[in-house]
């Protein structure tokens, strides 16, 4: 009887750990997807603006992530950096 109870406790502990890990993965997947979508939107915005002002806006991963994360302030930051460099 003691071995059965011990096994049952370990099964419950394993199920709780699995549940917590799956919850964390679900949230982290949402965050990662959100960051990727924002970076893609930032790249598209930079690409359109680089057609208008090619000497100011350069499309690369870093600038796309900055614009994706920060939005309009990030776009202004990338423009200032592009003008300075």
pTM attached to this predicted model = 0.58
CA distance between the termini of the chain: 75
Residues 6 or more apart whose CB falls under 8 angstroms from that of 69 comprise: 35, 38, 39, 42
pLDDT value of position 1: 55
How many structural domains is the chain composed of? 1
Domain limits at 54? 2-84
Range of 7-16, 19-28, 58-67, 75-84 with top mean pLDDT: 75-84
Neighbouring C-alpha atoms within 13 Å toward the C-beta of 31: 6
For residue 9, give every residue at least 6 positions away whose Cβ sits within 8 Å of its Cβ, in sequence order, or none. Answer: none
> Which pLDDT score, from 0 to 100, does residue 45 have?
82
Confidence of residue 4 (pLDDT cuts 50, 70, 90): low
């Amino acid at each position: 009887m003691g071995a059965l109870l011990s096994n049952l406790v370990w099964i419950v502990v394993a199920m709780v750990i699995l549940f917590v890990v799956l919850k964390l993965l679900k949230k982290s997947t949402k965050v990662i997807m959100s960051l990727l979508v924002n970076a893609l939107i930032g790249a598209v915005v930079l690409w359109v603006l680089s057609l208008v002002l090619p000497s100011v806006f350069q499309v690369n991963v870093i600038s796309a992530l900055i614009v994706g994360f920060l939005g309009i302030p990030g776009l202004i930051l990338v423009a200032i950096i592009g003008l300075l460099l």
